[in-house]
Amino acid sequence: MITGRLLPGILMTMFVLSACQSGENATTEDEDKEEAPAIPVETASPTRSDVYAMYSGTAPIEAFADAVVIAKVGGEVREIFVEEGHDVKAGQILAKLDGDRLRLEKRQAEANLQKLQRDFQRNVDLNKRGLISAGDFEKIQFEMEALEASYNLASLEYSYTEIRAPISGIVSERFIKVGNTIEVNAPTFQVTSLEPLVSYLHVPEREYRRISGGQPATIRVDATAGTEFVGTVARISPVVDPGTGTFKITIEVTDATRRLKPGMFGRISITYDMRANALQVPRNAIVDESGSATVFVVEENVAHRRPVVTGYSQNGLVEILDGLTDEEKVVTVGQAGLKDGAKVSVISAADDGESAATLNDLPAE
């Protein structure tokens, strides 16, 4: 049984113990809060450079003009003046056939014409003196015109023994050899024009308002180790194919070095817009949340979520139209588990020059 004198002492002891326990719990909670580790992140500063909006596609490189030269008369091949790889001009002689029979036919037609021309001249004098009827004079005149046509035809046939280039270009293939006897319409050479080269690109109809004639285009092919060739949009089809939902555009490119060849497969990019000195951040700094773009900005080792308005993408960079300034740093690695207001520890931060150099090495989108 607790006496009245002991009761106040016991209550005082219990109060002191309770206060000590509460103090210890509060201290532990504060220590837990202070010991929450900072999240390691990497940051980068925004960069500024020109950004281009492009449509990209693939298409084979083709020759603008290509002609198979056929023999217009038959005969034996006597001479060949060009070989594959030679440049030729329109009308240049490529080869010559024997043409012996055609040459004799031409001479015969010429002799007959000259004889009738002399007879016609005598009849002109007789007609003036009224010594020949008008019907006989007209008959001789018609005969002379017929012989002139026969002579011209024989001359034309004989000229075909010289096989000529129909277009200017390069001899891409030779089908005949000296000594071959060829028939009419036999293929003899193939001449390909390399100026300009063209590509026909089929573009979705949603891009129609963005593509216009004269826009610059770049072409890359694997065979030239990434070298860029500059071309232009030369023509745009005025109709859309209802079956594919695409329209055709023609890209023209002139390559003085002749490294581009017909038949190569090209990767084509058409530039339809450009914004100078645009603010850009690395693509991996952008966090997509329910269709809205955000970034994490680091200020005094604290990450703050910041909504941004994005523009064009190019070479691993995304244009920022609103929501960010040049001086701020954005998280590029480690933002997946971040929350607004979280403490961070910056373990790597590239300066502007290094960031730009690294990002420019990223593959094109």
Q: Domain extents for the chain?
A: 39-50+276-360
Report d(CA 285, CA 62) in Å as an integer: 41
63-77: burial string, b at 16+ Cβ within 10 Å, e else: bbeebebebbbbbeb
Amino acid at 159: S
Enter the tokens of residue 78.
């006597």
Enter the tokens of residue 108.
């015969």
DSSP state string for 64-122: EEEEEEE-SS-EEEEEE---TT-EE-TT-EEEEE--HHHHHHHHHHHHHHHHHHHHHHH
For residues 193 and 167, the answer to whether their CB atoms sit within 8 Å is yes
Burial-class residue 24 by CB neighbours within 10 Å (0-12, 13-18, 19+): exposed
Report d(CA 282, CA 349) in Å as an integer: 13
Please state the pTM of the whole predicted model.
0.63
Burial-class residue 285 by CB neighbours within 10 Å (0-12, 13-18, 19+): buried
**pLDDT per residue rounded down to tens, the chain (365 residues):** 444 454 445 445 554 445 445 444 544 455 544 556 888 889 999 999 998 888 999 999 999 899 999 999 999 999 999 999 999 999 999 999 998 888 888 898 888 888 877 777 776 766 666 666 666 667 777 788 888 888 899 999 999 999 999 999 999 999 999 999 999 999 999 999 998 999 999 999 999 999 999 999 999 998 888 789 999 999 999 999 999 999 999 999 999 888 999 999 999 999 888 899 999 999 999 998 777 899 999 998 899 999 999 988 888 899 999 989 989 999 999 887 788 888 988 887 655 444 433 333 333 33
Assigned CATH topology for domain 39-50+276-360: 2.40.420
Report d(CA 305, CA 10) in Å as an integer: 55
